[in-house]
Structure 1
Amino acid sequence: MAFALGLGLALTMHALPAAAQGMGLSFAGLQNVRGLPVEIKADNLQVNNQTGETVFTGDAVLGQGDMRLAAPQIRIIYAAAGDGSIERLEASGGVTLVTADEAAEAQSAVYEVAAGTVRMTGSVLLTQGRNVLSGDSLFVDLRTEQGRMEGQVRTLIQTAP
């Protein structure tokens, strides 16, 4: 299962103070895991060859390099072409995504591989170092490195002493 979650997460926030735009929220650590082997651990695995879905449930953890994606359920939907490529990855039930320097939490996350987009929804919390950004949903276009946080957006920027 060649899953490369290359999230180049550089956010452009229009509703935040000017200082927030310089936060540098990039999830750059995810770029470093591309091409590395993927390991998935879970309590259960269900494969449906007719629909092209693989579902990992029960403390599912997907690891690639120093990136970890954990959720009660991780669903992998393969492309109809039958070449083994992944069309979409869905994590639900409370999602945690961690790299060496950053972390994100949400109720669910969807990575559309072909479109190069990631959407996290439900009480999204994004941290980088001491800075924190939260909202109802986060959408990121990996190709353009543009994103938006929507719904009850709050940010905490730690300034140097």
Structure 2
Amino acid sequence: MKKILIFLLILANIAFGQENKKSEPVIINADKLEYNNKEKVAIYTGNVDVKKGNMQLKADIVKIFLDEKSDVSRILAIGNVWFQKEDKWGKAKEGEYIKSQDMIILRGDAELHQADNVVEGDEIRYIISEEKSFVDKKTKRVRTIFFPKEKTDGKENKQSK
């Protein structure tokens, strides 16, 4: 039990870390937690809800993998994955964050939304530091819906539908 409490304190300080938001706590609610210290993995199952600041992640299962320094190296969300950060949200059957590649991957009926704009595909990969996205087709074609902005009086306004 003591190892789990230490692990949770470490996790709260490092998971989903952004330099300017390290003081914000990570709050994880789930039906069950299993932590394996030898393999350095925490497995949350059942209605998992992760919150940090203005970011929220929901899934059936969330696995958090730690490296030898107990830093988060990878996060895997499985089943009914849904997330939101500010005005952006997305969903997929599976989501993964890989710290070493600074990448988020959404797999299986993946969708990303920002305002009325949407991109859909079988797999969406996003390299965070480069702000670069790749959308792949495996079973269905990639689809994008976006609403151009119109310029009026030197200002951009979103066109009405």
Query: How far does the alpha carbon of each residue in 1:35-89 deviate from its partner, in whole angstroms, 9 at most, with x for none?
Result: 221111000000111111100000001100011000000000110x2x2201100
| 1:156 correspondence with 2:142 | no
Q: Which runs of 4+ in 1 moved over 2 A?
A: none
Deviation at 1:5, TM superposition (A): 6.1
CA distance, structure 2, for counterparts of residue 5 and residue 121 of structure 1: 23
| Counterpart position of 2:25 | 37
Name which of 138, 143, 147 aligns with 2:124. 138
How far residue 114 of structure 1 moved from its aligned partner, in angstroms, is 2.1
| Larger RCO, structure (CA 8 Å, separation 6 or more) | 1
Aligned positions, number: 134
TM, length-normalised to structure 1: 0.78
SS at match of 2:38: coil
Q: Which of the two has greater helix per residue? A: 2
User: What are the superposed Cα offsets for residues 6-40 of structure 1, whole Å, 9 maximum, x if unpaired?
Assistant: 6xxxxxxxxxxxxxxxxxxxxxxxx97x4221111
Counterpart-to-counterpart distance in 2, 1:77 and 1:134: 28
Segments of 5+ residues of structure 2 without an aligned counterpart are 1-10, 149-158
**Structure 1 gaps, min length 5:** 7-30
Larger CA Rg, structure 1 vs 2: 2
SS of the aligned residue for 1:144 comes to: coil
Contact 2:81 2:92 in 1 (8 A): yes
Q: Distance in 1 between matches of 2:135 and 2:17?
A: 19
TM-score where L is the length of structure 2 = 0.78
The amino acid of 1:116's aligned partner reads D
Q: Return the letter of the residue paired with 2:73.
A: E
Corresponding position of 1:71? 59
The answer for the alignment partner of 1:4 in structure 2 is 16
Which has the larger share of strand? 2
1:118-143 Cα deviation digits (max 9, x unpaired): 11100011110011111110011112
Where does 1:34-113 land on structure 2 (aligned, <5 Å)? Answer: 34-35=21-22, 36-79=24-67, 81=68, 83-113=69-99
